[in-house]
């Protein structure tokens, strides 16, 4: 059993949780994820590891309630236990001294981006970080990302923090300033990663993206997480989750992410009704 050690609400519907998982904490690396079950009858859901404490045997997950299982997780309290945490899964991020790197994050994707930012800085890179959100409240982990960034740029759709606009605007700003980027990452909503990748290709900047499609077993056996990269089928759980953003078939990926939208909505509504929630 995996005990919840701390839990806090970051913004509405987004939670920051530390959980006891000694074996995962001992081996996890930036870019990897776990699959959780909240109860023995529950579905399997992938969540990126946002941070870890190897000495205390803890891992940190920041998640948004979007379906039944994340709603169940959100309803759990400190001292409660998850039934399963499988991991670490996936291929770790390629951490080395590239020279100058650009990190682009949005929404809860910022949580997945943070350990990569830290590791790249510790590897000797100059780090530029762009964080974006609809409003200032949705731009999470600003202080933590800034600590390991040489420069942090914030964009918000409504202009409530940083510059009004989207992350690609900040990418253009850096290019216009003559900043030479050797490698970049983008992690966040699918639409953000798509347009960040298109802009990176336009600016001739190599870019990794982290794909988190529908997963079941997380070990490459079910084939549910297949994605198309440079016209080749890949499995996000074992070949990824990071891939070359230039080569992702974004339309296919985004269509597949919406494949069970109606069923997910029905499942969440049923759970809320059972819990007496509106």
Whether residue 175 sits in one domain with residue 118: yes
104 and 82 both lie in a single domain: no
Do 117 and 36 lie in one domain? The reply is: no
- pTM of the predicted model as reported, rounded to 2 decimal places: 0.92
Residue 274 located in a structural domain = no
Tell me: do 20 and 49 sit in the same domain: yes
Domain hosting 222: range is 100-257
Residue 110 pLDDT greater than 80, yes or no: yes
Q: What is the DSSP string of the chain?
A: -EEEEEEEEEETTEEEEEEE-HHHHHH--TT-EEEEESSTTPPPEEEE--EEETTTTEEEEEEE--SHHHHHHHH--TT-EESEEEEEESPPP--S--SEEEEEEETTHHHHHHHHHHHHHHTT-EEEEEEEESSGGG---HHHHHHT-SEEEEEETTSSSSEES-HHHHHHHHHHTTPPPSEEEEESSHHHHHHHHHHHHHTT--EEEE-----SSSSSSS-TTEEEETTEEEETTTT-SEEEGGGB-HHHHHHHHTTTHHHHHHHHHHHHHHTT--
* Mean pLDDT, residues 216-225: 82
Where is the binding site for FAD, in residues? 62-64
**For residue 278, what pLDDT band results from cuts at 50, 70 and 90?**
low
Domain count of the chain? 2
Domain holding 250: CATH number?
A: 3.40.50.80
Please report whether residue 264 resides in a domain: no
Residues flagged as binding site: 62-64, 222, 225, 237
- What's the whole-number average pLDDT of the chain? 93
Same domain, 60 and 118: no
Give the CATH number, domain containing residue 65: 2.40.30.10
Per the annotation, where are the binding residues for [2Fe-2S] cluster? 222, 225, 237
Q: Give 145-197 pLDDT, tens digit per residue.
A: 999 999 999 999 888 888 999 999 999 999 999 999 999 999 999 999 999 99
């Amino acid at each position: 059993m995996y005990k919840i050690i701390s839990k806090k609400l970051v913004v509405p519907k987004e939670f920051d949780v530390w959980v006891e998982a000694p074996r995962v904490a001992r081996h996890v690396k930036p870019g990897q994820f776990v699959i959780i079950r909240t109860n023995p009858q529950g579905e399997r859901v992938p969540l990126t590891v946002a941070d870890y404490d190897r000495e205390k045997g803890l891992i940190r997950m920041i998640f948004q309630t979007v379906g039944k299982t994340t709603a169940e997780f959100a309803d759990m309290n400190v001292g409660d236990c998850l039934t399963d945490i499988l991991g670490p899964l996936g291929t770790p991020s390629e951490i080395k001294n590239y020279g100058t790197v650009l990190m682009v994050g949005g929404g809860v994707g910022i949580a997945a981006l943070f350990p990569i930012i830290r590791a790249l800085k510790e590897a000797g890179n100059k780090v530029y970080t762009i964080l974006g959100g609809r409003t200032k409240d949705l731009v999470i982990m600003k202080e933590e990302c800034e600590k390991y960034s040489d420069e942090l740029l914030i964009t918000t759709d409504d202009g409530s923090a940083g510059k009004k606009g989207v992350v690609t605007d900040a990418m253009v700003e850096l290019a216009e300033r003559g900043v030479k980027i050797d490698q970049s990452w983008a992690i966040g909503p699918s639409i953000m990663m798509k347009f960040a990748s298109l802009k990176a290709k336009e600016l001739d900047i190599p870019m990794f993206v982290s794909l988190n499609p529908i997963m079941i077993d997380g070990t490459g056996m079910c084939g549910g997480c297949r994605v198309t990269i440079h016209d080749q089928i890949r499995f996000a759980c074992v070949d990824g989750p990071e891939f070359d953003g230039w080569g992702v078939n974004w339309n296919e990926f985004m269509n597949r992410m919406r494949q069970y939208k109606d069923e997910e909505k029905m499942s969440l509504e049923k759970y809320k009704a059972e819990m007496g929630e509106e």
